[in-house]
Structure 1
Amino acid sequence: MNHDTSLSSPRALPRTPGAELPVVTGAQLRRQGLTAAQVSERCTPRGPWQQLLPGVYLLHTGPAGGRERLRAALLYAARPAAGRRGAESGHGTSGTPGTSGTDGTGTTGAAAGAEGAVVTGVAALALHGFAAAPPVPALTHVDVLVPRTRRLRATGFVRVVRAALPPEPLVVDGFPVVTAERAVADVVAGLDAPAAVRLLLTEAARDGHCEPAALVAELSAAKLLGRPVVTRAVELLLAEGRSLAEERLYAMVRVHGLPEPVWNVDLRLPGGPHLGTVDAYWPEEAVAVELDTARAPRYATAWPPRPAPRGSRGRAEPGPGPVTHAVWREQLGRLGVTVVRLSAEGLRESAERQAGVVRTALRAARDREPASYVVVLPR
């Protein structure tokens, strides 16, 4: 592989920020004094360089590496400066430097994301470390997310994904990348095999790349939940996410020395209505823990029931139906029951802090009025 990066111009090409890779734009070469003819000469089959994409050049021969493809895709897709919008047609030749979709600054990484191009799809999964994606060095194509109003065309190894409002990118290994859940959604949109969809969603939750609730929200925003292949995979995802959160809750209690609660119980008033289901409950302190996971609510119907209307033989009417979490928590609070809501993400990333929240609630219970008597039943 020939890595000749010398220029016929007396000035050497400077290493601009983020340009540790030998990938440059035609605008950069032009600013160094190279003419179109000189660039074209160096990009012949026998020359030391090659054109990777319209207006984007690799300063060595031989195959481009995965990181070089990533950088080239971002340089190609970066928002052009005013007066150079024509580059977005995707046309360009090796003898016409400065015609790529770039603003000519040579920026990449987070800066390229700010210019309207963010890595998504399989390439983003690779940067996030998904086993279901090829490693970065083996990437053969790159998906870039750009605003819907851009006229950028797919070309070569670059595929274009459009969004009304691209998300604020993360910076992973120096490249602007969508969140793991957005990358999964963009990949799932192109999958038809149930096993492939299930494998990807399972890895996303099991390996902690993203929380099930956030992933389901992203799939919903992408209007993918109506596809049967996705619906079934999401059901399994939520079940696995729920199971993982429960395991983390059990571990938090035992590792951090909290008193052992009763697990997964229903709360009821004596002879009265069902108050709801909680994941852990300390009867003496009247403290309950509820896991904030993506699933159907387990709250009781509103209570107390409505007074019996006249002529109904004294039979009370049921409440007005399921209540929100805030109302449910307020109702239990009036009975002296403290509800602590823990997120699956919090248990994964800061179990000690979550244990401190529960411990504080247990201590505070000793200083308040005794709670109303609540019947605790196994679920």
Structure 2
Amino acid sequence: MTPHTALAALPVPPDVRDRVLSAAQLRRYGVTGARLAAHCRAGGPWQALLPGVYLLRRGVPPGEELLRGVLLYAGRPPGRERDAVARPYGDAVLTGAAALALHGFASVGPPGGLGVVDVLVPGTRRLRSTGRARIVRTSALPEPVAVDGLPVAPVARAVADAVEGVTDPGAVRLLVAEAVGGGHCDPAALVAELERAGLLRRPRVLDAVEALLAEGRSRAEDRLYGLVYASGLPDPLWNVDLRLPGGPGLGRVDAYWPDHCVAVVLDASPASPTDTAVGAGDTGWAARVRQREHLERLGITVVPLTPRKVRDWPEQQAVVVRTALSAAVDREPPAYVVVLPR
């Protein structure tokens, strides 16, 4: 039988996507073990890409074929051929640089240029890394997203898995900056994932995150300035410290209207204690909640705004601030506080 006859015997279109198949899939299409061995001999038309995974042509596989081959290798359920056909990728999920390449990270480049491909599998799987497939066992498989039909880890998890093996601080900072600056994921989600992986104890990762948060706050402050002036709100005092006369400090606020006793606080993560994860200690999320509650008890209205809301919905946030300013006339006189510039 000629190679063309063997390929034609497969009831699938001979396009790139269907040129990588597992042994179980090939058996389903009627390819016997003897025919498979014959076609994969030296000089034959096919080749073994990974154990149990075959490329139905010769040559170096392009990026997509390589990724599909790694998933087929990692996803094959041991001893359950029917599952290998129905769910060829099983629970395998691409992560690390391979996932970031599919998410479109410019700093990673196309999948074909990757040396190895990281793939997540359940921690109970007994499967070895081989060839260009690097097996990463985990007890916390992420919910994958589909990119070009492939199961891929969400950006935050993929970045965490990618920086795990990166020793160059510049490369770490580039990945972290592109994840957020490129609009691929929310900074709070990224910091939370890095903390979950225990990576924030590494100085190069911590430095990259601190630079990211500082840059993000600066951008958010600029947008807050624009929101106030574009909406015709009264001029506030910017970036001031509040304290009781002769007493302890009440904390910093980003904007304060002393005639209305209304403060705006930019909160990078109002629902997640990510600040404590980067060494902020008592200045983290819990402390910000306590500060807000204390100011409210003193009669000061605190309007927490997230950088994302200021960026994506500035008109709505301006309405929130204006409403707080308008409601000030109906409140009891607040406690006297001292306002200090920073």
What TM-score range do you get, normalising by the shorter chain?
0.7 to 0.9
**Structure 2 residue corresponding to 1:26, chosen from 23, 27, 32:** 23
Q: Which residue of 1 aligns with 2:119?
A: 144
How far 1:80 sits from its partner (Å)?
Answer: 0.6
2:145 is the counterpart of 1:170: yes
2:207 is the counterpart of 1:210: no
2:292 is the counterpart of 1:329: yes
1:200-241 deviation line (CA, Å, top 9, x unaligned):
333333333334443333222222233333333333233223
CA distance in 2 between partners of 1:258 and 1:79 (Å):
61
Alignment of 1:58-97 (within 5 A): 58-80=55-77, 83-84=79-80
Secondary structure, counterpart of 1:104 in structure 2: helix
Secondary structure, counterpart of 2:183 in structure 1: coil
Alignment of 1:149-298 (within 5 A): 149-293=124-268, 295=275, 296=280
RMSD of the TM alignment (CA)? 3.2
CA contact (8 A) 2:260 2:328 kept: yes
Question: Measured at CA, do residues 323 and 215 of structure 1 come closer, stay the same or move farther in structure 2, by a change above 3 Å?
Answer: closer
How far 1:79 sits from its partner (Å)?
Answer: 4.9
Secondary structure, counterpart of 2:85 in structure 1: coil
CA contact (8 A) 1:66 1:138 kept: yes
Structure 2: which 5+ runs fail to align? 269-273
How far 1:256 sits from its partner (Å)?
Answer: 4.9
2:107 is the counterpart of 1:132: yes
Which residue identity is paired with 1:273? P
How far 1:56 sits from its partner (Å)?
Answer: 1.6
2:85 is the counterpart of 1:105: yes
How far 1:123 sits from its partner (Å)?
Answer: 0.7
Question: Measured at CA, do residues 125 and 324 of structure 1 come closer, stay the same or move farther in structure 2, by a change above 3 Å?
Answer: same
CA distance in 2 between partners of 1:227 and 1:263 (Å):
34
Q: Which residue of 2 aligns with 1:313?
A: none
Higher helix share: 2
Secondary structure, counterpart of 2:299 in structure 1: coil
Q: Output the TM-score relative to the length of structure 2.
A: 0.83
Q: Which residue of 2 aligns with 1:317?
A: none
Q: Output the TM-score relative to the length of structure 1.
A: 0.75
CA contact (8 A) 1:211 1:241 kept: no
Q: Which residue of 2 aligns with 1:38?
A: 35
CA distance in 2 between partners of 1:261 and 1:22 (Å):
64
CA contact (8 A) 2:76 2:84 kept: no
Question: Measured at CA, do residues 323 and 68 of structure 1 come closer, stay the same or move farther in structure 2, by a change above 3 Å?
Answer: closer
Structure 1: which 5+ runs fail to align? 85-97, 300-321
Question: Measured at CA, do residues 76 and 348 of structure 1 come closer, stay the same or move farther in structure 2, by a change above 3 Å?
Answer: farther
How far 1:278 sits from its partner (Å)?
Answer: 0.7
1:81-101 deviation line (CA, Å, top 9, x unaligned):
6x34xxxxxxxxxxxxx6xxx
CA distance in 1 between partners of 2:4 and 2:262 (Å):
70
CA distance in 2 between partners of 1:186 and 1:20 (Å):
27
How far 1:125 sits from its partner (Å)?
Answer: 1.6
How far 1:186 sits from its partner (Å)?
Answer: 1.6
Q: Which residue of 2 aligns with 1:12?
A: 11
CA contact (8 A) 2:17 2:65 kept: no
CA contact (8 A) 2:261 2:299 kept: yes
CA contact (8 A) 2:98 2:118 kept: yes
Question: Measured at CA, do residues 282 and 164 of structure 1 come closer, stay the same or move farther in structure 2, by a change above 3 Å?
Answer: same
The structure number with the bigger radius of gyration is: 1
Q: Which residue of 1 aligns with 2:271?
A: none
How far 1:181 sits from its partner (Å)?
Answer: 2.2
Secondary structure, counterpart of 1:340 in structure 2: strand
1:91-128 deviation line (CA, Å, top 9, x unaligned):
xxxxxxx6xxx9322546xxx4xx32111111112122
Secondary structure, counterpart of 2:256 in structure 1: strand
